[in-house]
Structure formats: structure tokens, C-alpha cells
Chains A and B, each alone.
Chain A
């Protein structure tokens, strides 16, 4: 008999491997975000007192959320990415540059966002005006509820944007 493990040894080894897979599954679940983290993933924002062309920043899932009531004279006013909340048009997006994740600053006089890190620019609807950012600012899942917006929940307006291909 050779010193290699025989059939029984191999069968046992394979079965032990199966057990290791089970343990790996438990380990994977241990790394998952906690339920309390996920539950904190919803933020309700009241937009009734928003002023036009003033940028508000909210926090959602630890990320900054840009909320901008777009002025009627803004070039981006008719952009399909804007969201109608109680008759006003709002730009709502995750305030992280799609290039490498810095937070762009808003310049109300220029009606645009400029990212200090690598000079990317976005208009008031989040469309790219100047690269390097490869794509517009990302719109988070939202649901319109009267004059309020719930972030984290995909409402009918969000689904419409999805169908139109504006958001992924």
C-alpha cells in the first residue's frame, strides 16, 4: 500500500471539505451588514421649505445627498433627471463625484458643481460638463411622498426613471 491516502481517506477529506463550505457560509453571513445598519438605510427629507438654487446636503447611508431646488431660469430646468416634488423641480443625487468619490462643491452663481480633486464639473441636473467624471451624479432610490422624499425606497417615480434608462 502506498503512503497516499486511500479511498476512505479521500472520502473523509471530501466530506470535511463540505463541512468547511458550511462554515464558510456562516462566516460570510457574519460579515454581512447588520440589520440595524440596513434599517438605518431610509431617510425622510421634508422639502417644503427649500429655497431655489440653494444646495442642501442630507446624510443617507453615511453618504452626502445633494438636494437642490432648481430655479426656473436654470439651463438644466427641463432635464429629465429632475424630480417633481409638489410642483417644484428638484435635483437629488449622491453627492460623490463619479470619478473617484470626492464631494463636488456647488457654485450657485455658475449653476454648477465643481469637484476640487480633479476638476470635474456637473450642471444643476448632475450631467457631466467636463471630464474626468465618466457619468452623471448618481440618483439614489427615492419615493415622493407629498412634499417629502424618502431616500432608500424605490417609488413609482424612481422606477419611471429606471425605465427611461436615466438610472441603472
Chain B
């Protein structure tokens, strides 16, 4: 039975401590949550993602107050009411649109940082898997949000992506119609994607963010050298005042101060984009109202979906779908396909180093080819890049098996 001091002043430190254990909470969550000292600015991407998600949430709340999920009114509620009538409505919309695009850039940087430093191995598998789940839910969130302005690109992206669920020659038209609630994307479709975007997906994302943070607790954050650190011993050193000698730092305020600095640089760039260069995140095609009788001459997904879209495109219908499905799940398997015992930066893992850079460049090529029209040489490059992507993953177990144990410098 806990002890409650009857004389403690309500809401005083002691009073709160007895009821909520605020001191313990603060220690566990911030001042004695230990992070390795040997890190660089790439370790700030997680906090940047959390902050960007916060921006999406807040700007989304304001947009939600004026958005009308009705096929006849949605377009004007966004493009007229929000953009010209609502005080600062334009600011929320541009912040939301730009953040939705930029968040994927940061996700990809975060992912490739993890791949480069081997932060998915030896106890950190769940960090990777929960992160991949976040990637998938963010993708669903982005796609459902893209439907809402009900412009030409919303409508036709909705048409094309839901058609994927007919699963090629299996021709599951029933499933497609079930997802749409109609024969084509219509009112039912808009309403359910609105629900997904503003309620179900954000709920799942928030739960997954908590899980993702939770998965860090036991294996701890990785460091630049992949060194295994005895966190308890190092924490003792820090507490004894050996700031220089200890290999760890507390999350608050030491790690946080660096995070906030990196984040502030990111926000300078972000707000520059919001005010002066938002076009890249708001495709012109979507400023034409949805027209079920006319497909725009060029349709393409937002940039962050392009690489997987391009894996679908060069193949015939059924193999294309298989390749697309492969691209969607293969990243989940990374911790299990990597057979090397080394947790080290890719620069010290010989064959894997090449594998990493080829993968990165290949995905960029796929991304660019996914946007340009599939004609002539672009088709060839796209097909080759898609095959390279598949082969890279097939050969990953072999590449990592060949790897020699990395010798530690210290």
C-alpha cells in the first residue's frame, strides 16, 4: 500500500510524486533514458519524424473543420473555402501538403540510416519490423489523404490502386467493388477513405509510434560503430560525473539538445518549402476537379510511391502484380535475409557495402522512371532497374554470408 502524506499540499511535487511517480517517470522517460554518445545527426531523424507527424496532426485538425467529404463539395471546400475564406486556411493546407511529402523523405533517410548502420540486427529486429509497419500505415494514410480533395489525380489514383485488388487474372471484381462500396470511386468510397484518413489510420499510427519507441527500450539505440555497449555500467559512469569517459548520454537534456538543433535546421528548410516552394507537393493535375469521363494524359503516384509503382509497370499484368507484392513485403524480411553476424556500418562490410549503394541508386532510378512516361528507353531502364531490385534481394543472403567478421578498432 502506497503511503500518502496527508499534509502534502495538493499538486505540490511531493503530492504528485505520491500519486503519479513523476520523478520516476521523468527518469525513465528522459533524464535517465540512455543514448550512445557516438552518434551523428542522422540519429535525429526519429524525433524529426515525430515532430512532422505532430505538424500533420495539428494542421489536419484545422483542415478537418472545413473539409466536406462529399463528392460534389469536397473539391471546393478545399480549394475555395480553405484556401480563400478560412483565416490562415492556406497555411494549414500548404503545411499539411508539404509535410505529407517531406515526411516520406525523412522516413527513407531514417530507413537507409538503419540499413547502413545495421540497426535491424541482433536484438533490434522488432525495431525494424515496427518501423516497417509504420511505413506501411503512413503509406495508407498518405494514399487515403490524397483522395480527399477529389481532384482528377485523387479520382484516377483511387481507380487504379483499388483495381490492383482484382489481383490480375484472378479478376476479383467483387473485392474491388467491396473496397470502393461502388462500381467506381464515388460517395461511399470518399466517405470511407475520409474515415480511414482522419480516424482509423492516425489511431493505428499513434499506437505503432508507441510500440516503435517501446522496441528501443531493451536493445537500446545503435551507434555509429555498431559497438555493443554495457548501458548500465556506462550510465553509472555518467552519474558519477564522468561525462567525458561515459559512452552514453541522457536523452534529456544532452541528446535532446542535439536533436532540437538538427530539427530546427530541418524546420528552416521545411518552412522555406511551405512558403516558397510548395508546388512539388501539390500536383497541378489535382487542381482539376474529378471527372469520371476523362483520364488525365499523365497519371502517376506521389514521388514516394514511384519506386514500387515502377516495379509493377514494366511487367505483364500478373507477374507485375507479383513483383509489386514482392516490393511491398521484402523490406520486412531484411533482418532475416541478412545472414552476417556483423553489426557495423556498411563501409566496413565489404560486399554488403556495394549491395547498399546499388540498392539506393537502383531505387532512385526506379523512382525517376516511375514518373516519366513508359516509352522507349525509359521502359528499358525501368525494366532493368526492376530486375536489379529483385536480384539484389535474392542475393542478399549470399552477399552477407560471404562477409568476414568485422574487427573492432578498439
Contacts and interface: CB of A to CB of B under 8 A. Distances in A.
B31, B86, B87, B89 — most chain A CB neighbours (10 Å): B87
Question: Could you say which interface size class chain B belongs to?
Answer: 10 to 19
Given A3-B31, A12-B260, A30 B253 contact: no
Contact of B88 (A3, A6, A9, A26): A26
B88 A29 contact: yes
A30 B62 CA distance: 7
A23 B55 CA distance: 11
Interface stretch (A32-40, A84-92, A149-157): A32-40
Interface in B224-255: 250, 252-253
A27 interface: yes
A80 interface: no
Contacts of A34: 81, 85-86
B85 A30 contact: no
Tell me if A's interface is mostly helix, strand, loop or mixed. helix
B89 A3 contact: no
B250 A30 contact: no
B209 interface: no
Contact of A26 (B91, B250, B252, B260): B91
A30 B65 contact: yes
Contacts of B58: 23
Contact of B253 (A9, A32, A36): A9
Contacts of A12: 260
Contact of A3 (B65, B81, B250, B260): B250
Nearest to B62: A30
A29 B87 CA distance: 5
Given A9-B253, A12-B260, A30 B86 contact: yes
Interface in B47-97: 58, 62, 65, 81, 85-89, 91-92
Contacts of B88: 26-27, 29-30
B291 interface: no
A27 B61 CA distance: 10
Contacts of B92: 30
A5 B86 contact: no
Nearest to A26: B88
Interface of A: 3, 5-6, 9, 12, 23, 26-27, 29-32, 34-36
12 contacts: A3-B250, A5-B253, A9-B253, A12-B260, A26-B88, A27-B88, A29-B87, A29-B88, A30-B87, A30-B89, A30-B92, A31-B65
Given A9-B253, A34-B85, A35-B85, 17 more contacts: A3-B31, A3-B252, A3-B253, A5-B253, A6-B253, A23-B58, A26-B87, A26-B88, A26-B91, A27-B88, A29-B88, A30-B87, A30-B89, A30-B92, A32-B87, A34-B81, A36-B85
